[in-house]
Every structure is written in structure tokens, then in C-alpha cells.
Structure 1
Amino acid sequence: MSKKMKSAKDSFTIMNELVLPNDTNTLNNLMGGRLLHWMDIAAAISAQKHCNRIVVTASVDNVSFKQPIKLGDVITIEAKVTRAFNTSVEVRLDVWAENIPSGTRMKSNEAYYTFVAVDQSGRTIPVPELQAETADEIELYEGALRRRQLRLVLSGKMDAHDATELKALFFKD
């Protein structure tokens, strides 16, 4: 039985949050943990849209904080599935911070989250394939296998010698 195919645009999610005093540290900057929480929610919504199933967070790639996000800023989190594997999906997130009174908007963060689809008993289940259509979607789709292999190698779930996509970056036949 072949799996269903879904378009990348079907999983696109935009989430907005206002940075309030309870979200900040003593410097009135957004706490990193709060941003990661919001990113996890946006990514999970995107993954669930793709899978039409319950999903659980499997991994979070490196998240770097480029600029502090200030009290009163509006955060926009854009999330979309970049590739589906057997039972998991990779979700790309871009985070923007906007100061509405000044009219400034800056990119604050980007990251990749991985989710696994599960049934009501918590057992993994197959997910629909992803159809990348635009040039950007195809580039993200193609890079997803390398990112996945890197995650698996770093977590000890894959031997580096078996990471053929990663090796191809460094070694020519």
C-alpha cells in the first residue's frame, strides 16, 4: 500500500505571540526557554497538519539566539514540514521579532525540530510523504536527509560510516 502524498504548503503554520513581563528575564529580554516552548507548539501544529495524527517531539537541532527579543515585541513563528521519513517529519522554524511602535522587524532564530507520529497507544505509525514543489522547498527537502543523518550520528543511533549523504559532502569517489 502506498503512502499518501501531501504538499509542503499544507503544513505551513504561522503563530504570533506578544512578549509580556512574565515571559522575560531581569533584563526584559524574552527567556530562551519560553521561545523554545512556543517554537515547539508551532512545529507540532505543522507536523500534525501534515500527519493528521498525534505527534511527539523527537529532537531539536541547534537553536542560536542572534538578537535579544524585548518586552513588548511581537514574535512571529513560521513552521513548515520540510521532509517526511517513515514515521517522522522534520519541521523548519523561522522566528521573527517585531517592535510595532518603531516598525522594526528582525529575524531572531531558526531551527529544525523532528516529530514522530504515534497512535493512541503511543506506537509509531507511518506518515504521508511530502511533495516539495518550489525551489526553496526542494532545497530544504534535499538537505533534510543530511540533517537527519547528522542527528542520528550525534545521538549514537547511526554509525558515521553508514551516513552516506554526509560522507558524500566530504569524500569524492
Structure 2
Amino acid sequence: MVELRETRIQTRQRVQPDDTNNYGSAHGGMVMLWMDEAAAMSAIRFTGEWCVTAHVDGIDFRAPVPSGDTLYLDAYVYDAGRTSCKVRLRAYHEDPKTGSRTETTDSTFVFVAVDDNREPMPVTTLECSSEESEQLRAEAFAAFEE
């Protein structure tokens, strides 16, 4: 069993000029790439195996992230099946000078654990033994499992 807190990945990406669109803000494709990478790290931490992206729930871009600013990413596994796990992924525009954040995206990414032949393999059980873990899991279910 793996504790939910152990799957949490919090990381940042600085938006450089090469990462932007014609409007000087993070290109949607770059944001999706960074989200996928953070979510994959969370899934790999949970399964202890290599994982591949199987499904992404809707991604709505609610706010831009200007060039020079930071994209803050928060990912954690909140549910698991036989060979897959669901990762909640939230992205925020973070002002690098003040640290203030505005949520830009909230999504679920589904990953499948694979063996050396790229065949699906069983995953462990997710444990929520702390109040923080229970709260994170409840928030994810409330947001996506309506």
C-alpha cells in the first residue's frame, strides 16, 4: 500500500519566451506537457513502475501565465484500479516575486502501469491514513466524480 501523501508532486516551471504563444503567455500545449509530466511522476511514485497516460479529463484554461512568470503544478494520486490510477492535477499562475497564485487548470489524468513489454500490470492499493490525505481525496472526488 502507498499513502496518498507520498504520491504528491509539487513543482514549478518558469515560462520562457520559447514557451509562449502569440500573446506572450504560456502556450496551451506546453502547459499540457508540464501537467502530464508532473502527473506521470505522481503515478510512477504510486505504482513504483513506469506509467503511460491513458486518459485526460477536460482541460479548461481559465487564466494566462505570462512569459517570465511561473506555472505551479500540484499532482497526487487519489484513486486506483487494477492496473491504473487517477491523478488530480491542478495548475496555477504563480507570481515569482510575491508567490501569489491563481488557479488556471484542474484536471484528472489516468495512468496505466506497464511492464518492460509495455503490457498493463497490477498496481498497489492507495491508502489514506491521514486527515490531509482524506481531505485531498475527498476534494478530488467532489470535483470529478459527480
TM above 0.5, one fold?
A: yes
- Structure 2: stretches of 5+ with no match in the other structure: none
- Structure 1: stretches of 5+ with no match in the other structure: 148-165, 167-173
> Residue 143 of structure 1: CA displacement?
5.5
CA distance in 1, matches of 2:98, 2:140: 36
| CA root-mean-square deviation | 1.9
Q: Which has the larger radius of gyration?
A: 1
Change (3 A) 1:140 1:129: farther
TM-score (ref. length: structure 1): 0.76
Change (3 A) 1:138 1:70: closer
> Residue 49 of structure 1: CA displacement?
0.2
Match of 1:92 among 84, 88, 91: 88
Contact 1:74 1:99 in 2 (8 A): yes
Aligned length: 143
SS in 2 for 1:77: strand
SS in 2 for 1:83: strand
CA distance in 2, matches of 1:120, 1:39: 24
Match of 1:36 among 32, 39, 44: 32
Matched, 1:114 2:113: no
The equivalent of 1:6 in structure 2 is 2
| Structure showing the higher helix proportion among its residues | 1
Report Cα offsets for 1:23-42 as digits up to 9, x if no partner. Answer: 00111011100000000000
Percent same amino acid among aligned pairs?
31
TM-score (ref. length: structure 2): 0.90
